[in-house]
Amino acid sequence: MSSRLPPLNPLRAFEATARRGSVSAAARELNVTHGAISHQIKALEQSFNAPLFERGGKRLRLTPQGALLLPAVTHAFAEIAAATAAMTRPATSGELRVTCVPALLSFWMIPRLHQFTEQFPDVRLKLIASNDEANLHSPDVDVCLLYGDGNWQDCWARLWSRLELFPVVSPTLLNMRPLRSIRDLRDHVMLHGDDGREWNTWLTAADAIDLQRGRQHFMSDARLSTEAALHNQGVALGDTITAGSLIARGELIAPFDLTVPANDAFFVACRNEVRAAPIVRVFIDWLFAALESDPMPELQMSARTIIRSRVSKPEDTGRKAPQTFQPVSSPRSRRPERPQKRKVKP
């Protein structure tokens, strides 16, 4: 018995045709012509001196000889593909130490972490909730996901995502204490995830920087202010990355349809000397691929509280007439345009 194997291309043509059920479908899959597939199958049948398909009808059917050949060919191609993937896969094992903005770690990365660990089961992750740029130069940290301006010295950094800011509140609190207009913020606790600058940015865009404010709580980061909002403690500023899923699940509501660009953005960064390490490279590639393949859901505004008309305010001479808000921009945008200044009187 001859040990000579048939040529590879006719075998590929045969396997694709048998799997797809037609020569035309196989030709589209392999990006060749209909005639090329037919010619390769005929050449394979001649080498075996046996027909592989029963001609006739809309769908090709395998002969007994073809049915005997197909499992072996399919298995062989699968084995080749697996071996090729193993050969080209970088060496990715060991511990990877990652610091991440606390809110981003809790509300975005951890819910998606299984996608990475299933693909790279030999990587042990050490995750640290931190937005300290000093970690960029620490030998105990491999990758940093930071919120900032990206102007860090002596390191590699790449913009990961810009984001928009907007107030968020729990449905429970909203039912107990409505937010029908911006002036109703006076009756709510304002939750800060910074020193107050981001709320000032939003209120300025809403033409409400002079709003009389009630109680305010200041917290070290946006994760704490968002969690406080989830527990009905007040109104926080959410963003399109960390709050999008919470809004989609109905755990938070965006009561106003005004968003403003955040002062800074999310960046992926690391020391220059570790950038080329396979374990670092695959994790950074996964961060960008996950963001691209799993975009944030559309924001769902509260229909009862979206401002659609002018909000009354005592006369203020010399100021332009207020405008209604425009629909919120989609959080799917990677580089949201800066909204035009909107004049809404609280």
Mind listing the pLDDT tens digit for each residue in 192-205?
999 989 999 999 99
Residue 216's pLDDT band, with cuts at 50, 70 and 90, is: very high
Mean predicted confidence (pLDDT) in 250-265: 92
More confident site: 321 or 279: 279
Mind listing the pLDDT tens digit for each residue in 73-128?
988 888 887 676 656 555 678 899 999 999 999 999 999 999 999 999 999 999 99
Q: What pLDDT sits at residue 154?
A: 87
Q: What pLDDT sits at residue 51?
A: 92
Q: What pLDDT sits at residue 85?
A: 60
Q: What pLDDT sits at residue 333?
A: 31
Q: What pLDDT sits at residue 60?
A: 81
Q: What pLDDT sits at residue 125?
A: 95
More confident site: 18 or 79: 18
Which residues in the chain are classed under CATH 1.10.10.10? 8-88
Could you tell me whether strands 164-168 and 235-239 are parallel, antiparallel, or unpaired per DSSP bridges? antiparallel
- The DSSP bridge partners found for residue 128 are 99
The CA–CA distances, whole Å, from 143 to 89, 137, 244 equal 20, 10, 24
Q: What pLDDT sits at residue 315?
A: 33
Residue 334's pLDDT band, with cuts at 50, 70 and 90, is: very low
Q: What pLDDT sits at residue 304?
A: 34
- What whole-number percentage of the chain has pLDDT above 90? 55
Q: What pLDDT sits at residue 308?
A: 30
- Closest residue by Cα to residue 306 from 322, 336, 328: 328
Q: Is the overall model pTM greater than 0.75, yes or no?
A: no
Mean predicted confidence (pLDDT) in 293-317: 43
- CATH fold of 8-88, please? Arc Repressor Mutant, subunit A (1.10.10)
Q: Which CATH number fits domain 94-162+265-293: 3.40.50.1110, 3.40.920.10, 1.10.3720.10, 3.40.190.10?
A: 3.40.190.10
Is the per-residue pLDDT at 307 higher than 70?
Answer: no
Q: What pLDDT sits at residue 142?
A: 95
Residue 55's pLDDT band, with cuts at 50, 70 and 90, is: confident
What is the side-by-side strand order in the sheet with 260-261? 216-218, 190-192, 235-239, 164-168, 260-261
More confident site: 202 or 299: 202
Mean predicted confidence (pLDDT) in 237-258: 90
User: What's the rounded Cα separation, in Å, for the pair 262 and 209?
Assistant: 17
Is the per-residue pLDDT at 269 higher than 90?
Answer: yes
Q: What pLDDT sits at residue 32?
A: 92
Which residues in the chain are classed under CATH 3.40.190.10? 94-162+265-293
- The DSSP bridge partners found for residue 60 are none
Contacts for 205 with CB less than 8 Å, ≥ 6 apart = 258, 260, 339, 341, 342
Q: What pLDDT sits at residue 86?
A: 57
Please state, rounded to an integer, the average pLDDT across all residues of the chain: 82
More confident site: 87 or 261: 261
Is the per-residue pLDDT at 171 higher than 90?
Answer: yes
Q: What is the largest CA-CA distance in the chain?
A: 101
Residue 257's pLDDT band, with cuts at 50, 70 and 90, is: confident
